[in-house]
Amino acid sequence: MKQLKAEFLFLCTLVSCNGQYSALNPAGSSAKIIADMFWWLFGIAILIWILFVVLEFYTVLVRPGPHKLNRTRFLVIGGGALFPVIVISISIYFSLSPLPVLVKAAPEGSLTVKVSGAQWWWRVKYPLGKEQEVELANEIWLPVNEPVQFFLSSEDVIHSFWIPSLAGKIDMIPGRTTKLSFTPTKTGHYRGACAEYCGTSHALMHLDVKVVERKVFNEWLEKQKQPAARAATPRSQTGEKAFVTSGCISCHTVRGLSTMGQVGPDLTHIGSRHRIGAGILKNNTASLHRWIRETGIIKPEVKMPAFDMLPVDEQKAISEWMEGLK
Ligand code: HEC
Ligand SMILES: [Cu+2]
Mean per-residue pLDDT pooled into runs of 10, the chain (326 residues): 52 58 93 93 93 92 86 88 93 89 92 97 92 94 97 98 96 97 97 97 97 98 94 94 96 95 96 96 97 97 96 97 95
pLDDT at 67: 83
Write out the E strands in 222-307: 275-276, 281-282
Q: Is the CB of 251 under 6 A from ligand 1?
A: yes
Question: For residue 16, what pLDDT is reported?
Answer: 46
Considering the entire predicted model, what is its pTM?
0.90
CB 151 within 8 A of CB 125: no
Proximal ligand: closest to the CA of 207: 1
Rounded distance between C-alpha atoms, residue 142 and residue 100, angstroms: 23
Nearest CA to ligand 1 atom 34: 248
Ligand 1, atom 32, residue with closest C-alpha = 292
Classify burial at 208, counting beta carbons within 10 Å of its beta carbon; exposed 0-12, middle 13-18, buried 19 or more. buried
Query: Which atom of ligand 1 lies closest to the CA of 310?
Result: 38
DSSP 8-state symbol, 8: H
Structure confidence at residue 225 (pLDDT): 94
DSSP 95: H
What domains sit in the chain, N to C, each tagged with a CATH number?
11-216 (2.60.40.420), 234-323 (2.60.40.420)
